[in-house]
Amino acid sequence: MRIKQLLIGMTASVIAVSSYVEMAIADLKFPMLVYRTGAYAPNGIPNADGFVDYYKMINARDGGIGGEKILHPECETGYKTQVGVECYEKNKKDAMVFQPMSTGITYQLIPKATSDGVTIYSTGYGRTSAANGKVFKWVFNAPVTYWDGASIAVRHILKQNLGNIRSKKIALVYHNSAYGKEPIRTLETLAKKHGYKLMLLPVDHPGQEQKATWLKIRKARPDYVLMWGWGVMNQVAIKSAASIKFPMENFIGIWWSGSENDVLPAGQGAHGYKSLTFNAPGTDYQVHKDIKKYVHDKGEASGDGSHFGTVLYNRGLFQAMVQVEAATVAQKIHGTSKITPAMYRDGFENINLSAKRLEELGFKNFAPPFKITCENHGGSGLAAVQQWDAKSKKWNMITEYMYGDSDVVQKLIAEDSSKYATEQKIAERCK
Amino acid sequence: MIYKETGQYKSSYKSDHAIFPLLQDKIAFSTLMFIAFLIVPLVINSYWEKAILVPFLIFSLAAIGLNILTGYCGQVSLGTGGFMAVGAFSTYKIMTSFPDMNIMIIILISGLITAAVGILFGLPSLRIKGFYLAVATLASQFFLVWLFNKVPWFYNYSDTGQITVSERTMFNIPVTGADAPPYATYLFCLVLVVTLSFAAKNLIRSKMGRSWMAIRDMDIAAEIIGVPPLKTKLSAFAISSFYIGVAGALYFAVFLGAIEVTESFDIMTISFPVLFMIIIGGLGSMLGSFLGAAFIVTLPIGLKFLMVDMVGLSAVTAKHFEITIWGLLMIVFLIVEPHGLARLWSIAKEKLRRWPFPY
């Protein structure tokens, strides 16, 4: 009897599985690789919420992009490369763009997506030399790269020291992975140029264990600490810095190490911590009003809706906006609303987010304007410094948006991308 | 009735020593091979390749390797990730140093290099046993991963520490790199896995395999009857590492294509899952290695498919369920069937022998 029931159950499930037919995709598909679980979830969740809310708002307010609804299936990666590959393979059919939200997965997907003809948009992360559109046809990393970021941080330090940092010591606390290692070469090159001493302090995944790192900092007393961290590593680093009484205003994180989740656990100790950013925090923008009206007030907020207006949520909005804008541009260029992945890439390459266009989209003063061309997939290269005010629990922008050291960065990008081009036998485009 | 053995007489030593003594097993195995070699390559797409079949084959190989060491020779090892990393980085170094060498040869050499490293880390096993050995092999896991991250020579001084595969061909068809067609990578792995599995199966049935099992069952008794512990344990470490090294080489060159050592060869991504594979599959069973690998590779994908695509749960809820179900299954398995899936299969065979007249 039991076996019979089991057999019936199995047959039923087999029928159910085989009768499953993939949904016909008539809309524009923007698959999302998210991580709402694991060591990187504290940062993954607000970012993913920003994406989803923006897509939902566009679907509700404008009825999609040029009349085509946005489909945004989520695939949970847990920040794991192997799962990322599975998610990519599962969703790549007719996909417009992938936003891996992980430098490791980005590296993994660059050759695959190039061969499949799918756009990869790694907003301010991933492979820095992908900014060279001549080599990386399908990859975009606008508006700013890690190497810009490293040189902007050094520029900020230079400004504070009136241009002379010859006797200074700068430490880099970094996630011991491809992501964290990205800025090292730039910082080394800049060290030669400006004469500061560089100290490298790796932190292993997931970043809980940093006692030795901060003991070293306590002993060596560097004048500045830069950080390339992500997930739980950020919180631990900021807490540790506070506990050894490191002057917080000399502690500068990359744009992935500067969200509310990172500083709040350290309480008052985090006061004065700085980070780079390429978008503004807060909720005073038209886009937030629209999201409130079309999504949140209808009770359709992604997640619990509590991340509205935080740094990473806003960054998600920005990233989603660029991806949607690429589709709009593509529709304009090709004169059809039903665009293919290849048309979408053309759209991406012709994005021109001027101040006026940003205002139309509801992003006035939200981020500096930028433009993507065939040669330049890296955007403007502008970022600003923001500082945490632990008393009012707010991030404040303390500088204008500034450029990095483009002489150094451009040279490094050209070197690295030409190395990749010879390895992979890619001929340069855009002549 | 399905597994009826009556009437199948063994009239020669050869038939008595066959891997599949029963006709039914022979037919089933031939059919499986026929499907695997001739049908699957025709219908495979990149999702089945990258998400299910290639990882399954690679992890089967790793599980066979660990099973030789842990299941047959009784030496517990948690260093699988480290040894796979040795295979991957050997492949990368040989590949970049000798661009004209055939990829099959590169992968086999990587296996040999891993075997040498395995012997080195197997030396403590002569003095320490059980949990203590597990801790010693754990040290090898951390040491090797640290080494490949720390010394830039291993990743050719690249800025990020990532190693990337370049395109290599077999019979003019690319088997590595992004442009490799799904059937090519699949067949490449399949040929290696089938050949090496037969080799392992026969090794286990040989004198060497019997001495491994003697050491596993009682090492002092084995030594007294003349099984040399040094040679036996080190040979188990060497051969096990060879298999794991080849698996690591395939994992890097054919499956992922770009690897970062700290993430891809982490203890939680490789060492523990492979150990679970042989525990769930069945310690000391070839079939168990395959069943365990299939179970661990497909379970998350299957659960995700069921919960997200069929039932329509959100991706994150499904993930939380998946983690919970995963842990529960693990416990249930160890309580209900501590000898693994392979044991379940042999119980099923017993049942099928008498079916439909159970009594």
Q: Does A126 fall in a domain?
A: yes
Q: With a cut of 90, say whether residue A208 has pLDDT above it.
A: no
Q: Which residue of B has its CA nearest to A16?
A: B310
**Cβ-based contacts of B161 with chain A (< 8 Å):** 177-178, 181
- Whether residue A389 sits in one domain with residue A348: no
Could you write out the DSSP letters of every residue in A268-292? GGGTT-EEEESS--SS-SHHHHHHI
Q: Is residue A344 part of a domain?
A: yes
Residues of A in contact with B258 (CB under 8 A): 107-108, 110-111
On whether both A372 and A302 belong to a single domain, the answer is: yes
In a domain, A18, yes or no: no
User: Does the pLDDT value for residue A25 go beyond 70?
Assistant: no
| Mean local confidence (pLDDT), A105-123 | 90
Averaged pLDDT in 10-residue chunks for chain B of 359 residues:
76 84 86 92 89 93 94 91 94 90 93 95 86 89 91 85 86 87 92 94 93 92 92 94 96 90 86 91 91 91 84 83 87 85 87 75
**Residue pLDDT, tens place only, A234-267:** 999 999 999 999 999 999 999 999 888 899 998 8
pLDDT at A400 over 50: yes
Polymer length in residues for chain B: 359
Does the CB of A9 have a partner CB in chain B at under 8 Å? no
**Chain B CB contacts of A111 below 8 Å:** 164, 177-178, 257-258
**Neighboring chain A residues of B179 at a CB cutoff of 8 Å:** 115
Are A103 and A224 within one domain?
no
The complex's ipTM works out to 0.85
Is the predicted pLDDT of residue A162 greater than 70, yes or no?
yes
What residue of A is the nearest CA neighbor of B262?
Answer: A177
Could you tell me if residue A429 is inside a domain? no
pLDDT (average), residues A86-103: 89
Burial class, B284, CB count within 10 angstroms (exposed 0-12 / middle 13-18 / buried 19+):
buried
**Pair (A321, A418) in one structural domain:** yes
| C-beta atoms of A74 and B47 within 8 A | no
Do A97 and A227 fall within a single domain? no
B51 phi, psi to nearest 5 deg: -95, -30
- Which pLDDT score, from 0 to 100, does residue A3 have? 55
Q: Do A173 and A196 belong to one domain?
A: yes
Cα–Cα distance for residue pair B260/B158, rounded to 1 Å: 11
Residue A317 lies in a domain: yes
Sort out which chain B residues have CB atoms less than 8 A from A46's CB and list them: none
Mean pLDDT to the nearest integer, A128-134: 89
Report CB contact under 8 Å: A89, B47: yes
Does residue A8 form part of some domain?
no
Does A163 have pLDDT greater than 90? no
**Do A244 and A210 share a structural domain?**
yes
Domain that holds residue A214: 146-279+385-408
The answer to whether residues A302 and A418 belong to one domain is yes
Q: What CATH number is given to the structural domain containing A240?
A: 3.40.50.2300
Domain boundaries along the sequence of chain B: 44-266
- In this complex, which of B47, B162, B320 lies closest to A107 when CB atoms are compared? B162
Inter-chain Cβ pairs, chain A and chain B, closer than 8 A: 94
Do A299 and A365 fall within a single domain?
Answer: yes
- Contact yes or no for B159 and A108 at CB 8 A: no
Please check whether residue A138 lies inside any domain of the structure. yes
Residue A400 counted as domain residue: yes
Which pair of structure tokens corresponds to residue A358? 């940003």
A99 and A223 part of one domain: no
- B164 with A104: Cβ contact below 8 A: no
Q: Is the pLDDT of residue A7 over 60?
A: no
CB contact under 8 A, B263 and A81: yes
pLDDT value of residue B1: 63
Rounded to an integer, the average pLDDT of A296-323 is 88
Number of domains in chain A: 2
Residue of B nearest to A188 (CA): B159
